Amino acid sequence: MTRLAELGARIESRQARIGVMGLGYVGLPLAVEFARAGFPVTGFELDGEKVRALLANRSYIDDVPQSDVAELRAAGRLRATTDFGELAGCDVVNVCVPTPLTKTRDPDFSYMASAVEDIRKRLRAGQLVILGSTTYPGTTHELFLPLLEGSGLKVGVDFALAFAPERIDPANKRFRVREVPKVVGGETPLCTELARKVFEPVFERVVPVTSSQAAEMVKLLENTFRAINIGLANEVALMCDKLGLDVWEVIEAAASKPYGFMKFLPGPGLGGHCIPIDPTYLSWKMKALNFPARFIELATEINTQMPAHVARRVADILNEDRLAVNGARVLMLGVAYKGNVSDVRESPAIEVAELLLQKGALLEYHDPHVAEFAVGEHPLKSVELSDEVLARADLVLIITDHASIDYERVVARAQRVFDTRNATHAVAGGREKIRKL
């Protein structure tokens, strides 16, 4: 029996030792699901604070209950370490590290390259390496396969390599991690089959594709689809603003059609690690092939101008009552990139806050999930959402629609409200105070 055949048998018996590199919003939920399925799991993380939290049975991810961590730790199925030397003992290694953009909006592969180099140093026959971090089509085959084969081992013979994109949607209560089908594409058919086997006990459905490039493209298509349609919704919002129409009324009425229309909502800009970034990976790759990704470029242009549009609207709303932005008290409600999460990566609140501070606004914020928030070199701390704080603000600006905020009270106590998320749609009184995107 070959070493990869032995690995397949270990996976089927759930004796395979699973490693997860990167214990953030993607890695920790995945590690917990593997452990819940019965595999022994070791999480690898550079941040010692996260490792110490897990070793003390504490979760720092909203979607991962502390009770789950404690239960799996007590069962001996979930470990965490900063010692990457232990990768040699893992049969399967999942890479869940960030893949951000540089300041010039080029792909930054430094985290993934570092992770792959850590694996290459310990790579042995009979291991399966699964990349999950979003990247451009061809990265696994063109960039990381040669690095791993530089160890002297051959893919599909000595070790297996696959790409399986993450599809985690933080704070989504409707679709939990295991309920979202897992796409897998390997460098060889055997690689795909081993990746399928390891994910089948964890996910309700596994969707194999013919190559790692196809799996990489799947993830980019998913989020490019969302980015382009959000761009359309944002452009419609700008049109409705010019026409004096309520964009939320228009979208809800259009969504009553039972076919041919899918509802996407406008907002103050794109945020999070996926939607603002993933289409740029695809666009960057296509530029190298002299193929202009025109839909992506146009949607990006529209979406990236939304924070500036919000800042201009703030000025216009204050100007209605002969107030200037300079010296006005502006209270931002929510700075996370989406409702009910604590993640501020790429949040439109960052740019909106920068623009308002540049205009001289006296800025405060409240976010029940984000205690501290830095705008450049300007540190801010979340203030208590008291009646006094609401009343003293010249404008309350809703950037993130957290479910725990009482918007009825916000509108009742505030002087003016600018709602970029339609969070106040159910508020009965005080409609005259509300302006919408």
Q: Catalytic residue positions?
A: 274
Sequence-distant (6+) residues with CB within 8 A of 30 are 20, 94, 96, 132, 166, 168, 177, 202
Which amino acid would we find at residue 125? A
Longest pairwise C-alpha distance within the chain: 81
**Checking phi first, is residue 406 left (phi over 0); if not, alpha (psi -120 to 50) or beta?**
beta
Sequence-distant (6+) residues with CB within 8 A of 292 are 286
Q: What is the Cα–Cα distance from 411 to 436, expressed in whole angstroms?
A: 13
Q: Are 370 and 342 in contact (CB under 8 A)?
A: yes
Residue 285 has φ and ψ, to the nearest 5°, of: -65, -45
Q: If 0-12 CB within 10 Å is exposed, 13-18 middle and 19+ buried, where does residue 381 land?
A: exposed
CA 135 to chain centre: 14
Beta strands in 150-205 (DSSP E): 160-163, 182-186
Q: What is the Cα–Cα distance from 256 to 148, expressed in whole angstroms?
A: 52
Place of tokens 């159910």: 426
Question: Cα angle at 207 between 33 and 255, to 5 degrees?
Answer: 90
Which pair of tokens denotes residue 407? 């918007």
Radius of gyration over every alpha carbon of the chain, rounded to an integer in angstroms:
24
The total of other beta-carbon atoms located within 10 Å of residue 347's CB is 28
Which of 256, 259, 255, 267 lies closest to 226, judged by CA?
267
Which pair of tokens denotes residue 81? 């370490």
CA 163 to chain centre: 18
